[in-house]
Structure 1
Amino acid sequence: MNHDIKFKLIKADLALSDYVESFWMLHNGCSEAKEIIVLPDGRMDLTLSQSLIQPFQIVCSGLETQPQPVILQANTLIFAISFKLLAVEYLLGKSISNLLNDAEHLPAKFWDFDPSDLLDFELFCKKASEKIHSLLPQQIDSRKQKLFQLLYQSHGDLSVSYIAEQTHWSQRQIHRYFTENFGISLKKYCDILRFRASFDPIKKGQLFPEQHFADQSHFIKHIKRFSGVSPKQLKLNQNDRFIQFLVSPSE
């Protein structure tokens, strides 16, 4: 591992768990830029960042459906919030369908963040948590809450028809909800969650499917579809390219 690249992740507390997956920090302490690859993980990120050549900025990233090469400039520091999709409507109050495989800059004082928030990761997590707590809705659509609980508990290993039946929401309505708000179909989102669920087993050297996949060939094809490489190459993670493999939520 390149010890100049530091990646730290902290899980959100239980009270925020319907809306926030985690907080994370990425620091490139190298004197040179580094290319990394961001893999689809089914989350929407809000990032605060700064480097020697880039001033402080706040960016909202939409869902990824393919591996995204990113140039991490020298001495770049990033603090981020990884949101679950329920946060899009209830915390941000807007659609991110236009941000599929893309991102947008937010105002410099969004949620009262400023450059000083990049000085201490734990204080950033505390401030962000307090802000999110203040925005939590008193009521939410029970169908949407149930839908996302099913998705995350199963890691996407459910049929659309089963989800519709359990949420008492038609498949057509669910499809419209996903495409209008997130720019992606529910089926595609389930595929991404199944891909994300393979991270930990692959890191541990389990290069065969234990669940979520019909057979070995299906598993390999699925991993290549979202990462661009085979499970074996993903496990090797040469030059720490796949940044999400440096640490995972279970650690």
Structure 2
Amino acid sequence: MRYQEILPLPALQAYIRYFWVLESGEEQVGSKQFKILPDGIPALIYQDTPNRFRDEQRQYTPQLYVYGAFTTYTNQLVDGPFRIIGAYFEPTALKAIFKFDASELANQNVPLDDLVSTSLLDQLQQAPTTQEKIELLSDFVLQQVQTLRYANQKAIFASTLLQRGRSLAEVQAQMNLSERTLERLIKQHVGMTPKLFSRIMRFQTSLQLLKTTDFNTLTTLVYQQDYFDQSHFIREFKTFTGNNPTQFLKYSEEKLSNFPAWKKEEED
């Protein structure tokens, strides 16, 4: 597989973390499984070829769609060669781009046409190069944010603190917010409760450490990330990946962050 990341225009960096392109190459035949991990990040996705990616219920994802932040892992199968282009948004960007509360889009793949009236899909299909497709996606998002002109600085700041590992109590104290106000703010702009968002952020930090640090045992990681014990960490890991850490490292092949290809166990 081939993978690349492209930084957004300066005017979009408050809304888009980066664009990415993932393609299999023509050598792929048959089906391949991918595991999608929760990371608190919504996205806009375009597939060059429709009816490639499908879930475990055999429902195909739309060719051009938005997904809200997912709160658990999902599995997808891709049939044949593919190329997909995505824009990873900031956690609070959905409301600024589409005006919808993030909670309305959580755990869903929603066709873009269901959210806004646009000819973007036709334009993307006609654009001959990846660069032109990314320019079209950039122009679309820029037009949306300039039209809506919405930003909630409290939500952005609270989300940033939670991503940095601050506890809910610390965020409430620093921002002088009640528990209920913080919950309403994060659910509206991120799409889940602050507690769940915080758990996902801790899982993501632990996952990166697991992939990049040579731990002799999990104990160091467990206490470094303030899990109660190793059993607690493994339960959380299974909740967000469907596997224990050993299985995940053994069978996942990751090019795109939180979208690893999954090797079949019989290939081991």
| Correspondence for 2:155 among 144, 160, 182 | 144
Structure 1 segment 188-227 matched on structure 2, within 5 A: 188-207=196-215, 208=218, 209=221, 211-214=224-227, 217=230, 218-227=232-241
Q: 1:53 to 1:125 in 2, by over 3 A?
A: closer
- Partner of 2:111 in structure 1? 105
Q: How far has the Cα of 1:35 moved from its partner? A: 1.3
TM-score (norm 2): 0.74
Instruction: Report the aligned-residue RMSD.
Output: 3.1
Say whether the 8 Å CA contact 1:28–1:75 is kept in structure 2. Answer: yes
Tell me the distance in 1 between the aligned counterparts of 2:65 and 2:18: 16
Tell me the distance in 2 between the aligned counterparts of 1:235 and 1:188: 24
- Partner of 2:35 in structure 1? 37
Structure with greater Cα Rg: 2
Q: Deviations over 1:58-77 (max 9, x none)?
A: 11112111110101121222
| Percentage identity across paired residues of the two chains | 20
Structure 1 segment 130-169 matched on structure 2, within 5 A: 130-134=139-143, 135-136=145-146, 140-152=151-163, 154=164, 157-169=165-177
Structure 1 unaligned spans of 5+: none
* 1:244 and 2:257 correspond: yes
* 1:9 and 2:22 correspond: no
- Partner of 2:19 in structure 1? 23
Q: How far has the Cα of 1:84 moved from its partner? A: 1.5
Q: How far has the Cα of 1:28 moved from its partner? A: 3.0
Q: Deviations over 1:120-160 (max 9, x none)?
A: 333433443344344257663331232123233x1xx2221
Say whether the 8 Å CA contact 2:8–2:17 is kept in structure 1. Answer: yes
SS at match of 2:203: helix
Say whether the 8 Å CA contact 2:162–2:197 is kept in structure 1. Answer: no
Q: How far has the Cα of 1:57 moved from its partner? A: 2.1
SS at match of 1:198: helix
Q: How many aligned positions are there?
A: 239
- Partner of 1:176 in structure 2? 184
Q: How far has the Cα of 1:225 moved from its partner? A: 1.9
